Chains A and B, each alone.
Chain A
């Protein structure tokens, strides 16, 4: 694994978010399952990187390792040059994380909850208060700030979660299946949000199995199958490598390969 300086498929490494030769296995009923198998990729600021794959491809496991929630068997991840294993606290404070599974504290008001996360991230309370106002204006939840989070609708809750992920203004943003369970309006909100992140010069990773959306959203693609990166690059590059026009077709090919 002496490929320092390049990713597993030969692309140059970027400093902002770097995943290097990551391996992670789980044991299920004394069977070992390789969830992530020698995975490397990196993301530069202003880039939306789509980590794509069917359910169980290892996307969420990868994100959890980057977040420091899981320890890899080997390999490492680093953010802004800091490895997670060396200083998890510093890495976590540079990462924003939004997932479709995210819940809210039903008994807190939206403002209280956002301030709480500000405190968790060590943001100065006054800065957090200012940021809450401006982000709430941006995402259209300024009227909801004093409502109890438990009374929000799904769409409102999603927007609160999106604001929550930005409360410490992180340089790297991780989105796990951000559009799952949302209607057209909700999906549109996500698109606008990601545009905003790109404008704010963040390095963004989007994990999704919705390939049509990914095609519209992302600048670079990593196709993950059984824990391994199969194709990587811009849409053009991926098309050239796979000989297929659409992500869906590429995946069908990969799945067939598995059957044979």
Chain B
């Protein structure tokens, strides 16, 4: 079996490497690109006045002028005192004075023969005019440094004379410099290389990923491949190995070309701080490369496995490439550390890891988390790819165009299809983002002019227009039956009353569990609350006390309970349960529910994810057991309402003499009571829904 897998890999590799287009990205591009890039970079580094000691050329017209300037610069009094020159890098810029032969020095400056031109009007004292070229960074620095040198000379001489004539003379001020902060800022190499790694591995992986997946279909080999008795995962794994190898090769050749040009052009010292070829960095980068190409190859294969053609695959990949650049830029920002959620954030974690490694910093725990989570993401992407690759959705030729989404079908259907739910979500995400951000901006700008009550009404309106109106519009456009789409359904009265009672009990106890989940995630360091945010929240609670409690309940309990339940446990639940089993349906709707709560306003409230998703799981379970949104609405309302009332009457909330605090665990007695209440609710729910649940699972 091993030999077979090896031969399968061999075929994929042969196929890509023989392809001329692969060879182009693999070899020709880096060989041409880097010499050109290095020239551009050279110019950039020199003109931006990097802290390097280079030689500036001063042009003069006559020999007398030249020798006068030379004598000034040779005078030790023209040099800044030791500590000051050290603080700006240690070295002192060299000046070389050149005399023009045929043309005037000013004209030679126009032709970029010198950095600056100096002319002297002899007299006492001689008057030196320094001319620099506007807009040229090198020329500007040369002028600045020369002026400083001459100033030091003037001052030191003046101080000597003054000291000799008046023994009581002392200068008005003495300057001493000092520095704080890290000893050495990260070398340029550490900030540039992660970005380069991202670009290189993507460039290397894109073409083979498309060619080996969507290409199979385009060549007409997909059907015979799928008809062969080899597990899909095998085929895909062979392709994965091939893509990783090509991505690795591309990145290695690129890096080699980059380092060689940098080294040959003498620019290495700008990047790594020393002139030697950075062998250690190269080795570290090789290790990182495996991580990067392993990650991107899996991600790209996963996306291209969806695609029916090259064109489609490219359409999927371009946004991903652009998105991948954003985390790449992160490495350019100081103060981003490999800890907390960032240590397991896909791509971001390994970008930061690369930057840290190259600047000589190493957090073992963070690095381990980054590597392990990245391997996990790659494996997950690959598993999805193996499921998608060659499935009948991909093999079949029926195409759904954008137009079919907007056209209202003639026949009514009980439940939306997955594409129409995806379309609904695609609308909901940006509209919700714009809506909630716009609302926050509006409120913070006109805080004085609009009352708190109006703000609350606006809040309800936004909720209704997003989570309410958009699924409703999708239902109308898709001609889906409202009662089945939103799962508005009541069982026979006695059973329904029991279900409502069970849901209410669950809602009464659930907030304690949500609170505990919040405290635990906070302790684990996954998105805790900062002190400021807690204070802000407490301040908000104070302010809310001016609002009548019914409006508070309407805004944060009634409206969310009705609207969010209809959207998540109604529309999305009915859609997904058509194609997924109950467990997956509940999981998926809960995670979406959690994600939407994270994305509130302009800040990502990561700490809300775990509690909200847990809440979603409970609501999903109720929706599944009862086959209806109605009991879930009640639980949602009770849960939110209870939290609000607890918040409103915060000071009065002393239970068995214990204070309630946002960051500490609840007293044990509370937890026991709450758990019992939830358990009672669950039991009532199970008892009141048994026959229906068994019917559901038979479907």
Q: Which residues of A contact B (CB under 8 A)?
A: 26, 28-31, 64, 67-71, 88-93, 95, 97, 99, 101-108, 112, 115-117, 119-122, 125, 164
Contacts and interface: CB of A to CB of B under 8 A. Distances in A.
Contacts of B390: 69
A125 B390 CA distance: 26
Interface stretch (B3-11, B117-125, B506-514): B3-11
A107 to B, nearest CB: 4
Looking at B230, B409, B413, the one whose CB has the most chain A CB atoms below 10 A away is: B230
Interface of B: 3-4, 7-8, 11, 14-16, 18-19, 219-221, 223-231, 235, 390, 392, 395-396, 398, 404, 407, 409, 411, 413, 417
Contacts, number: 92
Given A112-B11, A112-B14, A119-B7, A69 B228 contact: no
A120 B18 contact: no
B475 to A, nearest CB: 14
A93 B567 CA distance: 47
A117 to B, nearest CB: 7
B398 A90 contact: no
A122 B224 contact: no
A30 B417 contact: yes
Contacts of B413: 30
Contacts of A70: 392
Given A108-B15, A122-B230, A30 B221 contact: no
Given A69-B395, A102-B224, A119-B7, A108 B14 contact: yes
B7 A102 contact: no
Contact of B223 (A101, A105, A116, A121): A101
A99 B223 contact: yes
4 A-B pairs with least C-beta separation = A103-B220, A92-B229, A103-B219, A120-B228
Given A103-B219, A104-B221, A119-B7, A29 B404 contact: yes
A28 B404 CA distance: 10
Contact of A117 (B16, B19, B228): B228
Contacts of B398: 26, 28
A121 B409 CA distance: 44
A120 B221 contact: no
B87 to A, nearest CB: 60
Contacts of B3: 125
B75 to A, nearest CB: 72
A91 B3 CA distance: 23
Contact of B221 (A68, A103, A122): A103
B224 A164 contact: yes
Contacts of A116: 7-8, 11
Contacts of A93: 229
A125 B11 CA distance: 14
Nearest to B3: A125
Contacts of B19: 107
Contact of B229 (A89, A101, A106): A89
B14 A120 contact: no
A108 B11 contact: yes
7 contacts: A29-B409, A30-B413, A88-B229, A102-B221, A102-B224, A107-B15, A117-B228
Nearest to B14: A108
Nearest to A113: B11
Contacts of A106: 219
Contacts of A26: 396, 398
A125 B7 CA distance: 10
A121 B228 contact: yes
A67 B221 contact: no
Contact of A101 (B220, B226, B407): B220
A102 B8 contact: no
Contacts of B235: 120
B227 A90 contact: no
Contacts of B4: 119, 122
A89 B225 CA distance: 13
Contacts of A105: 11, 15, 219, 221
A103 B407 CA distance: 36
Contacts of B228: 92, 117, 120-121
A92 to B, nearest CB: 4
Looking at B11, B224, B390, the one whose CB has the most chain A CB atoms below 10 A away is: B224
Nearest to A33: B398
A71 B392 CA distance: 9
A204 to B, nearest CB: 16
Contacts of B395: 64, 69
Contact of B227 (A28, A67, A107, A119): A67
B476 to A, nearest CB: 14
A116 B231 CA distance: 15
A56 B227 CA distance: 21
Nearest to B407: A29
A95 B220 contact: no
A122 B228 CA distance: 9
Looking at B4, B227, B411, the one whose CB has the most chain A CB atoms below 10 A away is: B227
Contacts of A103: 219-221
Nearest to A67: B227
B219 A97 contact: no
Looking at A69, A95, A108, A112, the one whose CB has the most chain B CB atoms below 10 A away is: A69
Contacts of A119: 4, 7-8, 11
Looking at A26, A29, A119, A125, the one whose CB has the most chain B CB atoms below 10 A away is: A119
A248 to B, nearest CB: 28
A67 B226 CA distance: 9
Contact of B392 (A69, A89, A125): A69
B8 A121 contact: no
B238 to A, nearest CB: 10
A251 to B, nearest CB: 24
Given A29-B407, A121-B229, 18 more contacts: A26-B396, A28-B398, A29-B404, A71-B392, A89-B229, A99-B223, A102-B220, A102-B221, A102-B223, A103-B220, A105-B221, A112-B11, A116-B7, A116-B8, A116-B11, A120-B8, A121-B230, A125-B7
Nearest to A95: B227
Contact of A30 (B220, B226, B409): B409
Contact of A92 (B11, B227, B392): B227
A9 to B, nearest CB: 28
A88 to B, nearest CB: 8
A112 B390 CA distance: 22
A112 B227 CA distance: 19
Contacts of B404: 29
Nearest to B400: A29
